[in-house]
Amino acid sequence: MNKARRILALIGVILLLAMYASTMVFALMDSPYAKALLMGSIYCTIAVPVLLYVMMLVAKHLGETGEKIRRREAEAAKTAAAQSANEKVKQSSSETAEEETADLFESASEDNSEARSEEVKSSAEEENIS
């Protein structure tokens, strides 16, 4: 990346020097087109560096904005993953709790039915005895 930047900067310097030199040449020329060429050269000498500066500012701003967006997306992805994991843990723990509760109810109902059957047997025995 640094090498590419250096090459682009060198090309920019060469273009600027060429524009300055062409401005000087057009100013000293004695031709019917010299005045128009001189005005175009002066315009380019001013407009091209200004446009390059604006482009660099926009690129810098977009680069920072893009970097911020990438960071936010990464943080959002991490947060979403964490929330998903928490929901899975809650869901599995609630399922486990539901299963444990169901098991407790089943065992309690079995104990109650056994106790009732014993009561019925004991009451039936008492009736038989009396």
User: What pLDDT does residue 14 have?
Assistant: 92
| Amino acid letter, residue 80 | A
| pLDDT one digit per residue (tens) for the chain, 130 residues | 688 888 888 998 898 899 889 888 888 888 888 888 889 888 988 898 898 889 888 888 887 777 777 788 888 888 877 777 677 666 666 666 666 666 666 665 655 555 566 665 666 566 666 5
Residue 25: φ, ψ to 5°: -65, -45
Tokens matching residue 43: 């315009």
**Cα 103 from Cα 114, distance rounded (Å):** 16
pTM above 0.85, yes or no: no
